[in-house]
Amino acid sequence: MEAPLLHLALVGTPNSGKTSLFNALTGSRQKVANYPGVTVERKEGFFVTPAGRQVSLVDLPGTYSLRGRSPDEEITRDMVLGRTPGEAVPDLILCVADATNLRLTIRLLLELKNTGRPMMLVLNMFDIAARRGVSVDVPKLSEALGVPVVTSIAVRKGGIAELLRRTDEIAAQEQSPVGPNRWQPLTASQLRATQREADRIIASAVSLPAKPDTWTARIDAVVLHPVAGLFILALILFLMFQAVFAWAQPLMELLSSAFDALGQFVHDTLPEGLLQSFLQNGVISGVGSVIVFLPQIIIIFLFILLLEDFGYMARAAFLMDRIMGGAGLHGRAFIPLLSSFACAIPGIMATRVIDNRRDRLTTILIAPLMTCSARIPVYTLIISAFIPDRDVWGWFNLRGLVLFGLYAAGITSALGVSFLVKFFMLRDYAPAPFMLELPDYKLPRLKSIAIGVYTRAKMFLQRAGTTIFSMMVLIWFLASFPTAPTGAQDPAIDYSLAAIIGKAIEPLLAPLGFNWQIAVALIPGMAAREVAVAALGTVYAIEGGKEAADQIGHVLATKWSLATALSLLVWYIFAPQCASTLAVIRRETGGWRWMAVTFFYMLTLAYLASFATYNIAVALGAG
Amino acid sequence: MSEQTDIRTSQPLGLAKRGYSGVIQHLAVAEAASALAGHELESRLIELGFVEGARVEVLHEGIVGRDPIAVRVENVTIALRRREAMAIIVA
């Protein structure tokens, strides 16, 4: 008979190395979803123990206590207590501690013991601790705490063997040692008493080196220096944006020519007609024009995950706290806002770490102004079609500079909006506290990062395969029907539904310099920003007929003026062109109101800014 | 005031300069003009390891108004604003 699925849950303080342990245990067998009714990310993974037992492992949000201050922390508390409807009570709780930094985790573990659930303490990063001169008397610690203690090195092959072996042992026990749940929210004096108890246990079983981590101290001396630190932060951001543009280029060209070749192959193989047009213009040039941007998405996530894993993100929040405070933002908003450079959806979801509602609301309102990766396809397409590829001031690339400028414009406007919100809407409030652990620096765990990037890339491709694909089919249909009457002089697309719709909206967008092709691309672009690129690809491919094999960028360069191109770039800084982001805002703020506010303020900004850009550019002779 | 608090040398951590090191005497959450309620601030400070007897050292200061500060508490580094650090009385 097969043993039932064993449910394990990972609990730990933030920065305890939970995620890398999770990745080491489950590899790529992960399922990311939400808990029902709330937007807390639910990460579950699966593995098989040496004894052949099937295990499901849930990675619970990091927390310092079970008080449940935020939606994230409530999930951790309810899961541990078995209060979450539809979720199995964990058979075993793995309490993860960074072996170099036991103090806060041991206190959490003492609190967890009151729940009566079977538990095991995992001393993660045990090799680093040993190298730093931390020596842990594991049997003594286990005895003092009354729970099994294992050591692990999540980054090393075989580093989790003991953890697996002990899991098997505990699972094999006839009766699982579940005790009564005596947990209650702790008062301040009880918290204080548990911390003292934790300190006493640590003093008896762990010997700490006199000196803190010298590398962290040395790096922080520079990185947290008031002046040098800010300079380094700016440099890192600048490097990130140059990399997104420059490093990804060869790969993107490779992908692009592969799709062109595929389209040409379909063109040559199939007889002329609807099927040929659908596959070549609808599917391949549409979906292909989005997949081409995969390298850039990978690079931006790679940077964000590397910085996070290295321990830099908390430092960035420290450096930016007061500076962002000037614009009415909380230091903790820095991480959600930085994540919004990848995608506003995880960014807005990450605002849950901000426990003050007003601070959180301000951050949610401006997160969509951060340049998300879905804008990159639009930006790169237009920049490479209109901005000459040359060096300025020796070693800056002009295209990279324009891209940097677009990012900077997004950030500046976000700070401006936040300042206005603070000034006009939320005047009477004391700033919420900023309290954050600055973890010791760790060498990024490459496998863990690879898994993180892989998960993100997969999500992007799934989107390309579903949302973007179905939008492309729709666009192709609209652009192909009704067909041109026989003997028509104009391109066939001029008789299509797409042209009819586009021309109907055109008067509204004409002051911005947009033609009807842009108008028609902006509508499906509401589903996802990058769809606009694909839609332009399809519209111009159908219109272009024989030039269909040409790259879309070359086509645009001949069809648009520079003023139109600049105007569209500016439009994309501000426009609320993402239905999913708006949906997440509605869900996270619990109503339509803030979603509507976001939509209209962004639309207004976009219209005004594009209007100004177009007219100034025309006045300067770029029309 | 408890007896072990020496009036001459004890001060709020919120006023300490970079390089200051000392030991936490007690938490005085009423002293801090924090947006948090007193018991909530107290719980959070304890959760981050700010308990009586813990050694603290001010490691770094921010650029604007020397705020926030990065404090070594035993072997953990915590960033917080001076406003909340006013609740931590050190000597």
Radius of gyration of chain A (CA): 27
Strands (E), A125-162: 135-136, 149-151
Give the 3-state secondary structure percentages of chain B, helix then strand then coil, rounded to 5: 20, 35, 40
**Does the pLDDT at position A144 exceed 60?**
yes
> By the CB < 8 Å criterion, does B36 face chain A?
yes
Q: Which amino acid is at A595?
A: M
- The answer to whether residue A94 scores a pLDDT higher than 90 is yes
Rounded CA gap, A107 and A428, in Å? 37
Inter-chain touch B78–A435, beta carbons under 8 Å: yes
The ipTM value here is 0.89
**Residue B2's pLDDT band (cuts 50, 70, 90):** very low
**Residues of chain A above pLDDT 70, percent:** 90
Residue pLDDT, tens place only, A226-243: 889 999 998 988 887 677
DSSP secondary structure string for all residues of A64-113: SSSS--SHHHHHHHHHHTT-STTSPPPSEEEEEEETT--HHHHHHHHHHH
Looking at beta carbons, which residues of chain B come within 8 Å of A110? none
Cis peptide before A336 (omega within 30 of 0): no
Alpha-carbon distance A525 to nearest alpha carbon in chain B (angstroms): 41
Map tokens 């600049």 to a residue: A566
Domains of chain B, first to last? 11-90 (2.30.30.90)
β-sheet bridge partners, residue B88: B27
- With contact defined as beta carbons under 8 Å apart, do A516 and A499 qualify? yes
What's residue A358's pLDDT?
79
Largest CA-CA distance found in chain A, in angstroms, rounded:
93
CA distance from start to end of chain B: 14
Q: Cα–Cα distance between A579 and A571 in angstroms, integer?
A: 16
Average pLDDT over residues A498-509: 85
Q: Cα distance from A580 to chain B (closest Cα, Å)?
A: 33
Q: Which residue, A150, A161, A158, A157, is CA-closest to A126?
A: A150
Q: Per-residue confidence at A454, pLDDT binned at 50, 70, 90?
A: confident
Tokens coding A483: 């067909």
Burial level of A162, CB count in 10 A (0-12/13-18/19+)?
middle
Q: Which long-range contacts (CB under 8 A, 24 or more apart) does A615-622 make?
A: A617/A513, A617/A562, A617/A563, A617/A566, A617/A567, A618/A513, A618/A563, A622/A561, A622/A562, A622/A563, A622/A566
Lowest-confidence region among A163-167, A284-288, A389-393, B85-89 = A284-288
Of the listed ranges A275-279, A288-292, B8-12, B65-69, the least confidently predicted one is A288-292
pLDDT at A269 over 50: yes
pTM above 0.80, yes or no: no
Is B84 within 8 Å of chain A by CB? yes
Indicate the length of chain A as a whole number: 623
pLDDT value for A1: 45
Domains detected in chain A: 6-207 (3.40.50.300), 247-292+445-560 (no CATH)
Q: Residue A317 and residue B79: Cβ atoms within 8 Å?
A: yes
Non-local CB neighbours of A128 within 8 Å, separated by 6+ positions: A99, A100, A442
Cα–Cα distance for residue pair A316/A311, rounded to 1 Å: 9
Distance from CA of B58 to the nearest CA of A (A): 12
Gap between the Cα atoms of A435 and A599, Å rounded: 32
Q: Which helix (H) or strand (E) holds B72?
A: strand B67-73
Q: Are A487 and A502 in contact (CB under 8 A)?
A: no
Q: For A211, which DSSP code?
A: S
Q: Which of A585, A592, A601 is nearest to A349 (CA)?
A: A585
Using alpha carbons, select from A125, A110, A136 the residue that is nearest to residue A208.
A136
Answer yes or no: do A433 and B65 touch at CB < 8 A.
no
Judging contacts by C-beta atoms under 8 Å, the chain A residues touching residue B39 are 187-188
A107 touches chain B (CB under 8 A): yes
**Rg of chain B over all Cα atoms, to the nearest angstrom:** 12
Cis peptide before A85 (omega within 30 of 0): no
Q: Is A67 on the interface with B (CB under 8 A)?
A: yes
